[in-house]
Structure 1
């Protein structure tokens, strides 16, 4: 009922109503023993973001995002999924202060501010620093939050599709191993690389399917340059190659501006294999 009431208000109700609703959600609902109530709390947070976050300043958005990250350790899948969506929506709102609704009532109210560093604090750091039995659950939850965030900034807040390259670079940086913190997890090798691959692959449709053709061409060049980087890690290469494959399939051709990078990165990567095969049997493989 609260979710529907918030949605129906459209951000135009009295400020006291939103303040009380937010208090109810954060102090009672999201920590309730019943998973149904926790899901309802997450959905209400998402609605708060969708109607412009009336009465939510930077501090409230920050705290709500922290609640959502913590909730990604919940043992119930439906709860984690609900908070993943809420987290992505809240971060998108925080980065678009012009979309934040000023509440009705006695003022003046402080001007809306942009949530600085929110992606780093609530997506990048939790992904790289998480450990323990819920490691996989938290990373999958953050993966979904990225997707919801990208959807919101492109479809709701109408950011240009060219900005998605910047976010793709942040995702790539998350795939860089931090051996000082995640050494135990990295010991699983292919398991972790496989998860990172699934992480970036799940973003492919959110990134490339929202791009115009010129931006997709530029995105191919961007990914190719990532492969040329001297400090690129194997997991980053896997993610970049899979996304290259998907983008090429979506575009339907290899653009001329990408051909030189294609030859110097992907084709060149096969040279050690070619040499090894030639040395072993004296024949050039097809």
Structure 2
């Protein structure tokens, strides 16, 4: 590749490299498939097995319920395959091709990415050139954005433009505006509705929580918003080890709020809370 390749040269080189990498990986996979079957014949603990790939020796590609003897035999077979000259040669080819691909992405950052475009538009330019199958991590690296950001976008090949996915648009539409956030904070007494911690209490940070999540069509209307401190906000999402909220109804949320030291519902008096 020249020092200053054109975009068309980059596209051709990308197609060549990705095709070649896929071919060599396929060759190595077939080699592993064949060698694992051959080597396993020498181990009574294994019987006839075939590995799809060779993993690190400290990671077993099968169930951990297997005996230590069988796990040890699997490691031995994997090590024998890795030491095979043909396997090492194919691995070196893949490494060299990946290095060429790294260089190509450096050129792509210079040739395709433009300071005159925003991150979303630059992502569209990269997808138009190389296709949408490019790993998000690569795109994010070239555009200098968060690795998750490209996953929020969808590409239109006819117009060669990108836009936010529908659920992302909905989330953006339902984000709490700064002025609206201030009104909710004032309504809730500038404190967490559950525990009572306020913004002035040490390192406490207040957030506006969507009672019905945006992912479930929850709106940014006042009745669907509540002030929570960072700890309570984490609890409402992660109490059961999941990012989803643990309650199933609006009433369920306020019942949880009531269990806290403050138990404040801006829509009801404390007497009305007792009726839940």
**TM-score, structure 1 as length reference:** 0.25
More helix by share: 1
More strand by share: 2
**TM-score, structure 2 as length reference:** 0.25
Instruction: Flag the structure with larger Rg.
Output: 2
Between 1 and 2, higher relative CO (CA 8 Å, sep ≥ 6) is seen in 1
